[in-house]
Amino acid sequence: MKGPRNLGDLQLAILRALWDSGEAPVAAVHEALRGRGLALTTIATMLRKMEEKGLVAHRENGRQFLYRARLDPALVQKNLVGDLVAKLFDGDPLELVNHLLRAGEIDLAELDLLRQRVAEAERRARKERA
């Protein structure tokens, strides 16, 4: 239940790559992050460090190591978002949404979609309160 709050940029990117692949050798992760122009050994080192901390795990497949994430994406999201909300919005998620709306980050079509989602969530919440 405890995904650490201190995920670096690269670490998160690596996790995302692993979430997408399920299981992947170092080379594949490296390829997925090609945009960053990092050395293969950098990725390997990072993966090893992350394994020490329990963020990922590996199994051997002949020559290669196959890595997989040990964290649930939803959990990581919850932690990171929760952290941000705590630090920036006094722990009130609604303030975050408010910020998004005010900052005009969401366009008209999306607003429409959002309204439906909210209504949905409302129904769900109402039902759950039984």
Task: Figure out which of the listed residues 1, 34, 35, 39 binds DNA, where binding follows CB under 7 A.
Answer: 39
Site for a copy of itself in 40-99 (CB under 8 A): 74, 76-78, 80-82, 84-85, 87-89, 93-94, 96-99
Site size toward a copy of itself (CB under 8 A) is 45
Q: Whose Cβ is closer to a copy of itself: residue 8's or residue 61's? A: 8
Phi, then psi, of 71 in degrees rounded to 5: -120, 140
* Interaction of residue 46 with DNA, rule CB under 7 A: yes
Rounded least distance, CB 29 to a copy of itself, Å: 16
Distances, alpha carbon 104 to alpha carbons 22, 84, 107, 114, in Å: 35, 19, 7, 14
Residue 130 DSSP code:
-
Instruction: Show the tokens assigned to 44.
Output: 């390997």
Residue with tokens 């997408």: 20
Residues with Cβ within 8 Å of 17's Cβ and at least 6 positions away in sequence, in order, are 24, 28, 29, 32, 33
Question: Where along the sequence are the contacts to a copy of itself (CB under 8 A)?
Answer: 9, 12-13, 74, 76-78, 80-82, 84-85, 87-89, 93-94, 96-108, 110-115, 117-122, 125-126, 129
